[in-house]
Structure 1
Amino acid sequence: MALETCVAFLLADELDSDEYGHVKTTLPLKAWGTRDDEEEDDDGVDEGHSYFSDIVPNLSARDFQKYFHLSPTQVEELVHLMPPREWTSSSLEGCTVRRAVLASLWTLSTLEFHASVAVRFQTSESLLLHQLHEFCALVTGHLADRICWPKWSDAEASVAGFSGAVGLPGTVCVAGYCLVPMERPVDVPEPDAYRVSETTYAVNLMAFCDHQGCFTYVSAEHPGAWHTSRVLQETDVGRALQRDPGTLLCGKHIVGDASFPLSENLLTPFPDHGALGEKKRRYNSKVQAALRVVRGALHGLRWTYPRLKMLQMNSVAQTSLAVHTCCILHNMYLDTNNAASLECMEEEFITQKPFHELPTGHSGSLGGISKRQDIAASLGRKPKKEAKTLVMCVWP
């Protein structure tokens, strides 16, 4: 049993330092060596070489945040969310709420085998997964307001951010999407609707971001095989755009790619058939720059929480909870850190047919077509001198 434990630890370290070095750097190894005179506990884990009890307490605040992607203060906030559970009094497992939180964060932050994570945190694999589901349910239940649609001053700040950084006026949010793989779902009436290839099932993660890459709305429950336009219709944002866009946007608009339907409230690029004029090309360039914000956020989400690339869950409900949890944690990270500058590979994202090329699609609403033309025409105009003077006075 000592040999098996040693091999498990070596595998865990190899996974961290080699294949997933972008998520975890090499950890201190002073507590990882084996001693023949140590007695093992009933679970086969050497209590003298506990990652949780020997290494974590000695991490600096900087290293702690590097490994768990949250500050110690933020982790304590999560610990307080979890009330005492039956397993906290189990003498066999010896688990605490703090250990469960850190184990859950580690599980989401790596692709390390569940069995290896269980050894690392001195628990069982079954309990590790049970705690992960509880953790996700509590985070999404208690911290749902960490993902909120920008209103009032937040909306104005986002509009100013997109206008200043991208040069696209009136934009309050950008919309994007990606696939989150899962196992064949057993909790939906039509599981094959989630099949995206012969052997792969997935949910569609549709996300909206502000100018800082902070998630303002996410949906992760609809089949990955659905077209973006259909997913949008089934989300709260999509329904609000149909029923009461004024309350949602207050005269502003969202920007999305060509797979979204063009409207006055959701602007998309001009179709490029090789004959676009200068103004339309400039407009498209600025739209793509805005879309890189949400694509970068989604890329950063999966870079920070690579477990989303391989969620071994056969429940749409549990998958959705895990995705929402990672998005909330992403926003919490941005509370105390600037967004990382990550090169986003286009092939990481699914490409869908433009909405206007669908059998039921169209070229856009009259209001959307007109607004897009007006914005494209305005992008090349020079600002008035009075406006420039005012800006210089406000921002010396």
Structure 2
Amino acid sequence: MNVKPLVFGSLATAFEWYDYALFGYFAKIISQQFYPSADPVTSLLSTFAVFASGFAMRPLGAIFYGYIGDRVGRKYALSASLLTMAAPTTLLGMLPTYDSIGIWASIGLVLIRLFQGLAVGGNYGGSFIFVIENAPKGRQGFAGSLASFGTLGGLFLGSGAATLMTAMMSTENLESFGWRIPFLLGSLSAIVGLAIRKYVPEHENKATKSQLPIKEILTQHQSSLLRSMGIILLDGVGVYVLFVFMTTYATLFLKMPEESVLFWNTVSMGSLVLFIPLFGWLGDRIGAKIVLAGVCLGFAVFAWPLYSWLINSRDVMALASLQLIFSCLMGAAYGTLPILVTKAFPAHVRYTAAGVSFNVCVAVFGGTAPYVVTALVDFTQNLFVPAIAIIMVGLLAGLALKKLPVVEENAV
């Protein structure tokens, strides 16, 4: 197995998702800095609206970088997306607050988030195509899981950075300048992008190139596209409700201690990352569809009792149990989704198709999930809204998985 694509593909996703997810982990502070309001929920909703705006650009990023990936080469698309991500992330770490420049701070935050969304749209989907195509048969599922490993590794690093800053700094220093430090470190993604372009060989793709990949996907592969998006709900909604949004949910609505919530969120994310390659390997042995079917069942069965325990007890151990159990299920999802989506499309449109599948689903459902769940909890005063969302995702993903096609020519 050629290790360079695996290493750099995983690093690419790790750095890109570290950059992208920091916004969610520091949402509470960012809401105070850029959207001040007497009502903390109003400020938070404004910030999550900006969070969602970045997701709106991701499908465009998938189409743009997908065209490069299918027409020019996989590594060029991947490295370009990393370079695009580095600049706005660094700028976010230096952006003046609302108190300094008024409404221009809010506008600047939106523009930065839009460019971040464009960049990650070219990475998500394309990164696992990049590693799977360079892996031998029988190990493609495991290889694809390593790209997901990088994705969740980035989320884990982001959670770890938030936890470290919170533990090391006073509240005053954290809100003044400490939250900016992790964003400034995100500029390192540019180095990974340049390294991919220089040191990683391009995979030889013998398939006839599509003149306009997105047009062919929408006219000839609609079924694969819709069903792929159906199973990606596990990713698109699951991780944002169960981990990224959980820090806000537990501290704002359940009034749990922030340091404990961040600690267990980081531990759970770390566990999730470790589960990913294990289930990628298992998918190669018993079938990725079988593994993912178990995930769908777990979402539908475990969400209600675990959330019920958490809501009724407000106990840290209830939170830890919920997140650790779902870290196992999400690890299985991230370990098998890459190979299933890859094999649903022919090679000459694969980069675009995978990117569009993931990014449209995540933009429509994942990007809006924190906003919608926050609004519904606040409006209905029903703390079980996240549990209901997770159950629905499990059921819908299971239906999509049942008829997900496999294109046999995709023996990459």
TM-score normalised by structure 2 residue count: 0.22
Relative to its length, the structure with more helix (as a share) is: 2
Of structures 1 and 2, the one scoring higher in RCO (CA 8 A, sep 6+) is: 2
Q: Structure 1 length normalisation: TM-score?
A: 0.22
